[in-house]
Amino acid sequence: MVLSFFGKKPLPAGSPAPRSRAAPGVVSGAAASASARAARSEPTNLEFTIAGGDLNRVLAQCAEKVHVEEGIDEMAPPAEEAAILYANGACDEARVVLEQALDVTTATEARFDLWVMLLDLLRLTGQRENFEALSLMFATEFERSPSAWQDLSVQDTRTGEPKVQTVNLSGHLGGQAAAQFAQLIQIGMRNGALRIDLSRLRGVDNAGAGLLLRAVRGLRRAKVKLALTGAADLANLLAGQLKPGVRDGQTLWLLLLEIMQYTEQQARFDDLAVDYAMTFEESPPSWEPPPLLTTSQSEGNVLDPTMGQVYLLEGEIVGPNTDVLRKIPRFASDRTKVEIDCSRLRRMDFVSAGTLFNIVSQLHTQGRLVVFKNVNSMVAALMQVMGLHQVARIELRN
């Protein structure tokens, strides 16, 4: 298994080779950082129950199966400390640690890592002016632009309206998702509103189309407010599977006509309706766009991360008994490659990271490859502190 973390960066000519990690020094005022180092060398009393409570033993079991990519180095102590401070919610303190480390660090690779963490921290805390000012310094030093500004801070103060829960569908949609769709319908009926994100779907067969079509029609008949994000994307995907005049895939045709009503493309809908009538010699559905959710409602969080082909972690994961982590083994049960999308994950605390380590190390010993995708550098650094990079692949967000 090849690890992907802070080690793969273009370095200027003449840069020093990756250094070996010196013995960690004492981090002033960082009790959590000391606990992290202790967790890698002796048993922990945190709730690491899945792997038996001994990080060292689990890592030893995995050691022979792990191939570390050349050039990947352990983090400097300031990076570890900043990661743990951020995990504990101490954003200002984490920023101070990173800035002070940049004042005294000279190695190019170490400086790059610290810069990436600092710029990500500014995105995560919504500090655009500081981000833009420091981006110029980064670009000057490394002769490349950092990732573009994106406000990743929590923005939930515009309205008192309750959020509507969101379900993400991804990968290939087939008949095996029947149980998940039954749950989806129950959630919509219970809450009176639901948002379904279709943008990650990469394929739909007749059985999967039937499930989605029945769910959308049923929720509309029940007067449930429904938003379909990515409806236009799925419409393009379905249109590529259909041939006017060929009496095949009628369910796909009906699903396409249904989801087109969640777009603003009425002219395209009308053309498709004519093609449907000529192909199947029956009347097509009428254009009846559903009532839309408000903007604030349709920004709700993902409800069930197990409903697609990629597991979803998002928001802030804190506490030792977080259900979203406990569901990972069930999601992974029939997969040899377990992809976990962290593009919406802002923060994870120290205890939750330990729980995640145990879950992932157990999957690793079962021969499953776990890949964390689109991880922000602050969370990725915490994952490395906890040793997750030794039992999984971590891919930083661009």
CATH number of the CATH domain containing 229: 3.30.750
Between residues 396 and 307, the one the model is more confident about? 396
Collapsing DSSP states into helix, strand and coil, what is residue 335? coil
In a domain, 378, yes or no: no
Tell whether the model's pLDDT for residue 169 goes beyond 80. Answer: yes
> Which residue do the tokens 């769709």 mark?
181
In a domain, 396, yes or no: no
Instruction: Determine the Cα angle at 321 with ends 319 and 322, to 5°.
Output: 75
What total number of domains does the chain contain?
A: 1
pLDDT for position 19: 37
What does the block give as tokens for 132?
């833009």
In a domain, 96, yes or no: no
Task: Give the bridge partners for 375, in sequence order.
Answer: 396
What does the block give as tokens for 311?
């597991």
Give percent above pLDDT 90 in the chain. Answer: 43
Pairing of strands 337-348, 166-173: unpaired
- Interval 351-357 mean pLDDT: 91
At position 336, the amino acid (one-letter code) is T
Name which of 299, 298, 307, 308 is nearest 225 in CA terms: 298
CA distance 309 to 338: 9
Collapsing DSSP states into helix, strand and coil, what is residue 172? strand
pTM: 0.53
CA distance 196 to 229: 6
360 near 392, Cβ under 8 Å?
Answer: yes
Sign, CA torsion 2/341/234/152: negative
Task: Give the bridge partners for 337, in sequence order.
Answer: 369
In a domain, 357, yes or no: no
The helix (run of H) or strand (run of E) holding residue 110 is helix 108-124
Torsion of CA 355, 360, 361, 366, to 10 degrees: 140
Give percent above pLDDT 70 in the chain. Answer: 74
Write 211-216 long-range contacts (CB < 8 A, 24+).
211/173, 211/175, 211/177, 211/178, 211/181, 212/169, 212/173, 212/181, 212/255, 213/251, 213/254, 213/255, 213/258, 214/181, 215/181, 215/184, 215/185, 216/258, 216/259
In a domain, 161, yes or no: no
CA distance 223 to 372: 38
In a domain, 320, yes or no: no
In a domain, 136, yes or no: no
Tell whether the model's pLDDT for residue 16 goes beyond 90. Answer: no
Tell whether the model's pLDDT for residue 331 goes beyond 60. Answer: yes
In a domain, 50, yes or no: no
CA distance 328 to 331: 5
The helix (run of H) or strand (run of E) holding residue 194 is strand 193-204
pLDDT tens for each residue of 190-214? 778 888 888 888 899 999 999 999 9
Between residues 59 and 134, the one the model is more confident about? 134
> Which residue do the tokens 């040899």 mark?
336
Torsion of CA 31, 76, 79, 106, to 10 degrees: 130
Q: Which domain holds residue 197?
A: 166-280
pLDDT for position 118: 96
φ, ψ for residue 168, nearest 5 deg: -100, 130
